[in-house]
């Protein structure tokens, strides 16, 4: 689906910008001292720019030094960007070959810090995505679906391929308003974006380019051009990431329905009532109610019973009603995302009603 394919990372390692340290190739073949030297160089590259770093385990990526959580005072974060402290960490025996964890949320010359969009690949035993995400093979596809719904373009920013084939997109924290926090997967509220996407902001961290994964045998590799640094968040992405301060007021009137509901025989009247009640139920949902899943389920159920009143429960009529309801409840992703969910649910329902026929 995506033109931004997630691929298995190459074996070369690049540091955040050229000139900070020599490039390291074939990290797995280097001696202990060479790996330690490379990791220290990566850590100091970011620390000298004012970005805090933390030693992380080379196996599970867990932080090996505490004290940088969301509630920590910004002054307490400064030690993580102190080049002397960073040097002591990576020159010690315990942290010499540690991953370089780049703290997100705070730091940098402007003090705003970073927010990183972590686009994952599914685990080998994971169930396929469903609903509006059914055709998505990875986090890049999920983000691209959201991008298309916003009629936007793929963001050009500092980009890193991960050893598992995922991708990290680095952005600047917003200059105005609240900073972006952390979220995992398809949580019901911002800053979550969707399945196979993690958000790393205040209180989080990512493994920096140049770090080598012992588990996967590959490095984290920068793939953006050397002169491209983390960019400001595009407006469409910031809108999805930033939670609204207050819930949007409920519209008292339902959007105008495209299709008038005839009142024919009993089956048709029952079908018309079912469609209206289902749309009302979807329109009344709030954030945290699993709106997308329930929209998919509603479309699927209406597809299953459509044969009972084919002149009433047409795909066009169901789509119009449910799309209006999705707009009313403020479904994340906009009209295009809602239409994709409805279409997938309808197809699944019609297929199930036909006994699984293709």
Could you tell me where in the chain the CATH 3.90.920 domains are found? 12-241
Which pTM value belongs to this model? 0.62
**Tokens linked to 61:** 């990526």
CA distance 134 to 323: 18
Taking the C-alpha atoms of residue 171 and residue 105, their distance in angstroms, rounded to an integer, is: 10
User: Sign (positive/negative) of CA torsion 44, 47, 51, 54?
Assistant: positive
Q: Which residues contact 66 (CB under 8 A, 6 or more apart)?
A: none
Options 3.90.920, 1.10.3470, 3.30.1360, 3.40.50; which CATH number does 12-241 get? Answer: 3.90.920
List the chain pLDDT tens, one digit each, 358 residues: 554 544 333 333 333 443 333 333 334 444 456 778 888 999 999 999 889 999 998 888 899 998 887 767 777 788 898 999 999 999 988 888 889 999 998 887 667 789 999 999 998 888 998 888 888 999 999 999 999 988 999 999 999 999 888 999 999 999 888 889 999 987 778 899 999 999 999 989 999 998 876 666 678 899 999 889 899 999 999 999 986 544 444 333 444 444 444 445 566 777 787 788 888 889 888 877 788 888 988 898 888 888 877 878 888 889 989 988 888 888 877 778 888 889 988 888 888 765 443 3
Q: Are strands 167-172 and 231-232 parallel, antiparallel or unpaired?
A: parallel
Distance, CA of 42 to CA of 86 (rounded, Å)? 10
């Amino acid at each position: 689906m995506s033109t931004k394919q997630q691929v298995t990372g190459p074996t070369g390692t690049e540091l955040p910008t050229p000139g900070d340290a020599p490039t390291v190739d074939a990290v797995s073949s280097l001696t202990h001292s060479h790996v330690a030297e490379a990791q220290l160089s990566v850590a100091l590259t970011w620390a000298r720019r004012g970005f805090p770093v933390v030693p992380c385990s080379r196996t599970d990526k867990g932080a090996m030094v505490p004290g940088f959580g969301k509630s920590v005072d910004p002054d307490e974060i400064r030690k993580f960007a102190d080049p002397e402290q960073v040097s002591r960490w990576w020159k010690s025996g315990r942290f010499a070959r540690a991953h370089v964890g780049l703290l997100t949320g705070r730091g940098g010359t402007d003090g705003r810090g970073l927010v990183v969009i972590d686009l994952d690949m599914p685990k080998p035993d994971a169930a396929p995505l469903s609903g509006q995400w059914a055709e998505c093979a990875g986090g890049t596809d999920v983000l691209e679906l959201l991008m298309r719904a916003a009629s936007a373009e793929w963001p050009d920013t500092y980009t890193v391929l991960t050893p598992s084939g995922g991708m990290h997109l680095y952005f600047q924290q917003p200059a105005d308003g609240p900073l972006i926090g952390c979220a995992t997967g398809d949580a019901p509220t911002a800053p979550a974006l969707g399945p196979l996407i993690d958000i790393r902001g205040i209180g989080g961290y990512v493994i920096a380019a140049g770090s080598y994964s012992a588990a996967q045998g590959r490095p984290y590799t920068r793939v953006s051009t050397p002169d491209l640094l983390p960019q400001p968040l595009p407006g469409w992405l910031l809108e999805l990431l930033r939670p609204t301060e207050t819930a949007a007021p409920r519209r008292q009137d339902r959007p105008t329905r495209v299709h008038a509901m005839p009142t024919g025989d009993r089956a048709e009247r029952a079908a018309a009532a079912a469609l209206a009640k289902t749309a009302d139920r979807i329109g009344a949902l709030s954030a945290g109610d699993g709106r997308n899943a329930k929209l998919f389920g509603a479309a699927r159920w209406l597809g299953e019973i459509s044969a009972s009143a084919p002149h009433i429960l047409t795909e066009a009529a169901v789509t119009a009603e449910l799309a209006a309801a999705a707009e009313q409840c403020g479904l994340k992703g906009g009209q295009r995302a809602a239409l994709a969910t409805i279409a997938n649910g309808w197809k699944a329902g019609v297929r199930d009603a036909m006994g699984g026929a293709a």
